[in-house]
A and B are shown apart, each in its own frame.
Chain A
Amino acid sequence: MIIDGNTIDSNIHDEADICIIGGGVAGIVLARELKDSYAKIIMVEGGDEYYSQDSQDLYQSNKTTHFPNTHYSRLRFLGGSSNHWENNTSPFTALDFEKREWIPNSGWPLSLDDIEPFYMQAATYCGTEPDGYNTNYWKSKYQQEDLFAASGKVQTQIAKSSLPPVRFFAQYGEELKQTENILIYKNSNLVDMNYESGKRKITSIIAQSYTGKKLTINAKVFIMCLGGLENARMLLHFNDKYDNGLGNQGGNVGAYLMEHPTVRAVYMFKQEKKNFDFYQAHYEQSRVIKGFLSLTEQALRQEKSVNLRIPLMNASEFELSAGISSAHILADELSQVSMPDDFGTHVMNVLSDLDMVIEGLARKHFDKRIFESANDNIGFLPAMMTEQTPIRENCIKLSEKKDGFGLRLMDIEYQITQDDRNRIWKSLNVLAKEFGALGLGRVKLNPEFSSRIWGSQLGFSNHHMGTTKMAETEKDGVVDKNSLVFGTSNLFMAGSSVFCTGSHVPPTLTICAMSIRLAEYIKTEFNHA
């Protein structure tokens, strides 16, 4: 059943075995996984069944330094950000969970073995089907060549997405609404939490509607599923009230924020005789399967570096023109009467690539094409998702400015450190050498475009991770290995906020797998109906 919080009587109370707060990906998976084991599950969702401006405006932040605008980079209604996700999925690797001494703050209190049993079911949720991500399997199925099979340093991994993308509430909402023991309160925003420190127990939460109606919910178990940023923001509020007793004993709530910065830092020129088809989209009825490149565990250990997700995106001669990029940099800098770094290199790039620069000018100013070869597909310009090191300084804090419910807005402090940039270049060097060693072509690293790579051309993936990090102890994190908030016996966190490191692949398949695992844990720890 679904009830609109805007239309309830004022100040009602309700009670459940399980209270799920947030009806996005994690919340919906948890509701489905728990529904057969408990007499009553309540889901509290701030948004409606569709987009509404009232709700979306609550995703505004006060200040987001170097970070994508949080008003647009997530959606605040049932289904959450799955309402605009791309549905790209791949599982994490074993190394992702390990403590790597060259990556500060890395290491999970879990291993891949803890998550792996849930990946296939997670893939079913994501609409990518439970036939796995094994490169050899897909290679045989499509009778394609894995060009990196013989490499110890670079590997082919598989990405799958559903077509069209699974919008979690559109897909599973009707079933949830029809389920007798599930009650969804929509337009009901979590605003407060009551905690008995003696018993280490959350006793109730309070949700408020846009019409000012208040809803108090008592439950045995509470699970916060508000997304990678909001989980931390709300927990910071409650920690203000409860003297940092809710997972903030070590001051970790909001810290270790990670994204997947997306960089275009290399040109890859391919050997024409090689067949790169495995790395292009293979369309099936309702999904797409594609190979992409990453570094092997062996290479990462050897180089002490971070991994990259390298999709081989076809590019023409025109797109792989260093001259055009350099011309842009020179024009930008000179128009501000300043001298770019690597001035000589840029001039050289322009001169030595004059025909493409002329082509660019002709296209831009005269809508004319001159050189036929400019359109030749000669290689790849990958937009690479990169793993980011979790650092304490990248964090969410509460500002003094307040939202419509009187709750303080977030400030986000964020940077991509020089260490991370150096590690990315190091990994790209491995790629360049391996491409040559396998006779697949040549790779050009473009450090002279750094100002653009880390500036106007830098992309983000809208993957918000790490702000309520999992750890062995409260000194190092916010939740334990079962996602239970330190200092409590019945408050759990779900979603990528609990990630310790972010891998080089998108998070949502792992969010689903961990939500299924969490449901299993809750079922064993808390009495069934």
Chain B
Amino acid sequence: MPRVSRRTLIKLFGIIPSAAIASHFSLNAAKYDSVLEQAWQAWQQNLDIKPLPYLQATKITNLPEAEKQKLIQQEFAEDKVISVNGLVLSYIETAILAQLYLEQV
């Protein structure tokens, strides 16, 4: 799970660039799904608001990569974090994953 979520993060935020990501996800689609689902559950347990409104409120969707990172780091510093199966992620990160889950189901 952490590896997948890490890869998901890579894909979404470019935290750790790596060429292997895509092949891993195609190898095991279940991984990707489970990460999203767990993020959704974590989001539900922690926050009332839905992921999309949260993302819209942070205006993160269209920001350049460096600014996204800054916002995410700020969330960590402000204690806006959620444990997704132990992996400590910021609200924004979790919201993006949770939103992806909602779009899938």
List the interface of chain A (C-beta within 8 A of B). 267, 269-272, 317, 320-323, 345, 348-349, 351-356, 373, 376, 378, 429, 432-439, 441-448
Contact = CB atoms under 8 A, between A and B. Distances in A.
A323 B30 CA distance: 13
A354 B28 CA distance: 8
A355 B76 contact: no
A434 B31 contact: no
Interface of B: 1-4, 6, 9, 15-18, 20, 24, 27-28, 30-31, 34-35, 38, 69, 72-74, 76-77, 79, 81, 83, 85-90
Contact of B16 (A355, A378, A438, A444): A378
A444 B9 CA distance: 13
B73 A348 contact: no
Contacts of A438: 73
A236 to B, nearest CB: 44
A376 B20 CA distance: 11
A320 B3 contact: yes
A351 B2 contact: no
A444 B88 contact: yes
B15 A353 contact: no
Given A271-B16, A442-B15, A445-B88, A436 B81 contact: yes
A437 B88 contact: no
Contacts of B89: 436, 442
A219 B81 CA distance: 63
Given A434-B76, A441-B15, A322 B88 contact: no
A448 B38 CA distance: 15
A351 B79 contact: no
Contacts of A320: 2-3
A448 to B, nearest CB: 7
B64 to A, nearest CB: 15
A492 B86 CA distance: 48
B76 A436 contact: yes
Contacts of B79: 433
B20 A267 contact: no
Contacts of B87: 442-445
Given A271-B16, A352-B34, A353-B31, A436 B90 contact: yes
Nearest to A348: B34
Contact of A443 (B1, B69, B77, B88): B88
B78 to A, nearest CB: 9
B1 A271 contact: no
Contacts of B86: 322, 444-448
B37 to A, nearest CB: 9
Nearest to A447: B86
18 contacts: A269-B2, A320-B2, A322-B1, A322-B3, A323-B3, A352-B4, A354-B28, A354-B30, A355-B27, A433-B79, A435-B88, A436-B89, A437-B76, A442-B89, A443-B87, A444-B87, A444-B88, A445-B83
B15 A271 contact: yes
Contacts of B3: 317, 320-323, 352-353, 356
